[in-house]
Structure 1
Amino acid sequence: MKLSMPRFDLAPVLVVGDVMLDRYWHGGTSRISPEAPVPVVKVNQIEDRPGGAANVALNIAALGAPASLVGVTGVDEAADSLAASLAAAGVTARFQRIAGQPTIVKLRVMSRHQQLLRMDFEERFNTDAEALAAEVEALLDGIKVLVLSDYGKGALQNHQVLIQSARRRGIAVLADPKGADFGIYRGASLITPNLAEFETIVGRCADEAELVSRGARLMLELELGALLVTRGEHGMTLLRPDHPALHLPARAREVFDVTGAGDTVISTLAAALAAGEELPQAVALANLAAGIVVGKLGTAAISAPELRRAVQREQGSERGVLSPDQLLSTIEDARAHGERIVFTNGCFDILHAGHVAYLEQARAQGDRLVVAINDDASVSRLKGPGRPINSVDRRMAVLAGLGAVDWVVSFAEPTPERLIKLIKPEVLVKGGDYGIDQVVGADLVRAYGGTVKVLGLVENSSTTAIVEKIRGQ
């Protein structure tokens, strides 16, 4: 399955549901309490993170999508902390604040990256369902996807009103369900139960075939557009009416903490669908995102650069031969990680020791090396009949195998000036007896503050000389 990074900036999503504050007390522990057989933690750091529906909205914003949130809180310090964190992340949050009821807080005591204790401060909210529905109605214009993030804490009491309101506008509705009655999500475009939640409704599934058949019946009964069952270490299963089941394996390299993984799945799904991705591709992106988040501690958001890098690994574009579009996306990610881009170009027809030494010198000028090579017609114009000896595909494959080279791209024009304008490398290098003013693109690079360097070549190393020697023999 081919994956790409969607235009998340064009994907407005509205999240409605149970917001909560995930609070972490961090500290060291070196002794057991004399009062009871428990460790004593000396707290030296307090950290607040948005949780529940607020974490879903935060994840959407972290991907670069416009995110709005409607939820219910108390009138207290925890609600203020939530509002401040969400505003700082660019989330538009509207809270129905209820006096006399606490904002839901999950307090975790941590020591050496291990959770020692969790304490929950919560009461089921007496939500004004009509007022909340009116708030949602007022925010739906321009929204591409509505997410119902349901933790069963009382914020969502009128699911059908919200679902039908969105459907009348042609807005997709995604629901992360809870409880023993999935009937409240009837008509949703997609629901995302985990395996335990799914089996609570349909009964235990002995194998994948039974999961698929029972899922199909559930979709028919509830008039669902699709069903995504998240299955932990067994990955995910996407079910759609009149389509074969799609089973995706888990992508986690190392599972550190599963807190918030479900939030990451539905937020990535929602943002990708809002950006126009087809459902299978959106699910595959969500699967990659989940594999990243379980390697982090606590409730965490996945950034667009992190997801882009995972997509590049998936598509094999972390290194090697790329198209210009792939290269631009990859370079954007590299720069997001603070890496400097070095650019050079040439024909590289028969690779020799001089080329290898030159490319190693070029790579040392920055963090990533892009090598642009002339296509076959361009080489023939430059070098004359009988050249190139090797086709462009073979030349790119050989260059991509060198340790000094990160990415290889070809160009058809007489010079690489168009690529230089697109890439805007921090460093432009050329080898040979050129003066800096003779290097194609030097003026462009220097105009935006980049560096231009001319590097020497290894003596007595020349593709033309090699060709002439072979012909002479």
Structure 2
Amino acid sequence: MKLSLPDFLQARVLVVGDVMLDRYWHGGASRISPEAPVPVVGVKNQEDRPGGAANVALNIAALGGKAVLMGLTGGDEAEQALRERLQAAGVDSHFHAVEGHPTITKLRVIAHQQQLIRLDFEQRFREQDSAALLEQAKPALTGAGVLLISDYDKGALQHVPELIAAARQLSLPIVADPKGKDFAKYRGATLITPNMSEFEGVVGTVQTEQELVDKGLALLEELDLQALLITRSEKGMTLLRRGCAELHFPAQAREVYDVTGAGDTVISVLATALAAGTDLPHAVALANTAAGIVVGKLGTASVSAPELRRAIQRQQGGGRGVVSAEQLLIALEDARAHGEKVVFTNGCFDILHAGHVTYLEDARALGDRLVVAINDDDSVRRLKGSGRPVNSVDRRMAVLAGLVAVDWVVSFSEDTPEALLEKVRPEILVKGGDYSEDQVVGGEFVKAYGGVVKVLSHVENCSTTAIVNKIKQDR
């Protein structure tokens, strides 16, 4: 499956569930307490991050989607900290404060990159609190692209069947991250995403792959679901759908650092991709890739669209090398999202020699990424004559792509690269030879949008024409 990022900016997701604050105390631990056999942590700083359904909404916003978040809080200092961080991330939060209840807070003490202890501050919400949240959420269903239910079994979703029924009346896709051993409350959802432990807690122990598929399909029928996504840790994910063969997605993580919030990332990417118009298998593949990123981070974390795009490029071998114009533009969008400066140069590069190599290394040193655009064979013949090029365009591109200094090589069919320049819009345009800046093709265009034009000198006594002439003389 060839992956690509959908337009997450078009996605609007309503998130309803158990919101919480993940609080981290960081410090050093160099001695044991004289009072008990426990380490003494000298707290140096505090970090607050949205957790639970709030982390789901944060992930959606990090992708560029529009997240509307609804949940129950305590109207306390923790709620204020939560609201401020969500607002800063662009999440539209609507909390129902319950007097006498704390905002659910999980305090983790971290020393030397290791979690030593977790302290939970919480009190289960009552049925009437959940009913109030339901009435608040129903009007917000209109205009949403997907309803995302984030259940941590803290009491906010005791009326989830009514919420699902209301969403179905509007033909709204419903994805749910379930909790507990009774999945009946999610009946009628489009998709639920239990992990393996949660799945076995409902259907019983699974011994084989076929048993997993059989029990999963039976659960689909029992709960009137359209799909079931089972997340399986190091075994990846399995997607089951009615009338379709099962799909297995291998785990993408290179190194697992912390699985905190990984489930939130999976369902947020999945829901945002669906809201952006992506089909379900593609959305699951994106979520699987995102999970591989987030488990490499410490604590509750989110994945941005540029991070996801770069991971996709790594998987598909698109990090550098020979590319089409369309592939180049995607790669450049990612590079710029990471603050990288793009350098552009062009030429025939028929017979690569020491002068070319030095020139390209000097060009690359001016920025972070170097694009080399080369004339195709027909345009070289028009410029150099019928005996050229000596090497075909595919061979010239392959040789250039092998140079450390070169990030991407792309060809163009016109005599000049002006049409390509208009699409690439490099920060720096470089040309070699005895030119002045105003003689560089495309230079005026680049300067017009604030770019820079540089002319680099050639290495003496190095030219393709001289090499070709010498070969002819030596025959």
State if a TM-score over 0.5 links the two structures.
Answer: yes
Counterpart of 2:34?
34
CA positional deviation for 1:405: 0.3
2: CA distance between counterparts of 1:306 and 1:257?
Answer: 17
AA aligned opposite 2:243 = D
Counterpart of 1:442?
443
Counterpart of 2:251?
250
Counterpart of 1:332?
333
Counterpart of 1:90?
90
1: CA distance between counterparts of 2:441 and 2:26?
Answer: 55
CA positional deviation for 1:87: 0.6
Counterpart of 1:204?
205
Q: 2:343 matched to 1:363?
A: no
2: CA distance between counterparts of 1:392 and 1:66?
Answer: 45
Counterpart of 1:22?
22
2: CA distance between counterparts of 1:384 and 1:157?
Answer: 78
Counterpart of 1:4?
4
2: CA distance between counterparts of 1:342 and 1:270?
Answer: 37
Secondary structure (helix, strand or coil) at the match of 1:50 reads strand
Secondary structure (helix, strand or coil) at the match of 2:313 reads helix
Q: 2:359 matched to 1:352?
A: no
CA positional deviation for 1:19: 0.3
CA positional deviation for 1:186: 1.1
Counterpart of 2:119?
119
Bigger CA drift: 379-388 or 197-206? Answer: 379-388
Runs of at least 5 residues in structure 1 that lack an aligned partner in the other structure: none
Counterpart of 2:235?
234
1:59-138 equivalence runs, <5 A: 59-126=59-126, 127-138=128-139
1: CA distance between counterparts of 2:402 and 2:65?
Answer: 37
1: CA distance between counterparts of 2:348 and 2:142?
Answer: 54
AA aligned opposite 1:306 = E
2: CA distance between counterparts of 1:460 and 1:26?
Answer: 61
CA positional deviation for 1:21: 0.6
AA aligned opposite 1:289 = A
Q: 2:264 matched to 1:263?
A: yes
Counterpart of 2:195?
194
CA positional deviation for 1:466: 3.0
AA aligned opposite 2:62 = A
Bigger CA drift: 126-135 or 33-42? Answer: 126-135
Counterpart of 1:221?
222
Secondary structure (helix, strand or coil) at the match of 2:214 reads helix
CA positional deviation for 1:273: 1.2
Q: Is 2:98–2:129's contact at 8 Å kept on the other side of the alignment?
A: no
Counterpart of 1:426?
427
Counterpart of 1:54?
54
Secondary structure (helix, strand or coil) at the match of 1:51 reads strand
Give CA deviations for 1:320-363 in whole Å, capped at 9, x if unaligned.
Answer: 11222222222222222222111001111222222212111111
Q: 2:402 matched to 1:401?
A: yes
Bigger CA drift: 396-405 or 162-171? Answer: 162-171
Count the aligned residue pairs.
473
Counterpart of 2:150?
149
2: CA distance between counterparts of 1:352 and 1:269?
Answer: 49
RMSD over aligned Cα, in angstroms? 1.4
Secondary structure (helix, strand or coil) at the match of 2:174 reads strand
Q: Is 2:130–2:155's contact at 8 Å kept on the other side of the alignment?
A: no
CA positional deviation for 1:16: 0.5
1: CA distance between counterparts of 2:179 and 2:189?
Answer: 14
1: CA distance between counterparts of 2:410 and 2:114?
Answer: 46
1: CA distance between counterparts of 2:251 and 2:65?
Answer: 25
1: CA distance between counterparts of 2:42 and 2:316?
Answer: 46
2: CA distance between counterparts of 1:260 and 1:64?
Answer: 19
AA aligned opposite 1:50 = P
Secondary structure (helix, strand or coil) at the match of 2:381 reads helix
CA positional deviation for 1:395: 1.9
Percent identity between the aligned chains?
Answer: 68
Q: Which runs of 4+ in 1 moved over 4 A?
A: none
1:278-317 equivalence runs, <5 A: 278-317=279-318
Counterpart of 1:452?
453
Give CA deviations for 1:91-116 in whole Å, capped at 9, x if unaligned.
Answer: 00111110011111111111111111
1: CA distance between counterparts of 2:436 and 2:312?
Answer: 40
Secondary structure (helix, strand or coil) at the match of 2:411 reads strand
AA aligned opposite 1:142 = G
1: CA distance between counterparts of 2:66 and 2:259?
Answer: 26
1: CA distance between counterparts of 2:222 and 2:389?
Answer: 64
CA positional deviation for 1:131: 3.1
Bigger CA drift: 383-392 or 140-149? Answer: 383-392
Secondary structure (helix, strand or coil) at the match of 1:233 reads helix
Secondary structure (helix, strand or coil) at the match of 1:42 reads strand
TM-score (norm 2): 0.96
Q: 2:171 matched to 1:170?
A: yes
Runs of at least 5 residues in structure 2 that lack an aligned partner in the other structure: none
AA aligned opposite 1:118 = R
CA positional deviation for 1:471: 4.2
1: CA distance between counterparts of 2:132 and 2:263?
Answer: 28
AA aligned opposite 2:233 = G
Secondary structure (helix, strand or coil) at the match of 1:161 reads helix
2: CA distance between counterparts of 1:154 and 1:381?
Answer: 74
CA positional deviation for 1:253: 1.3
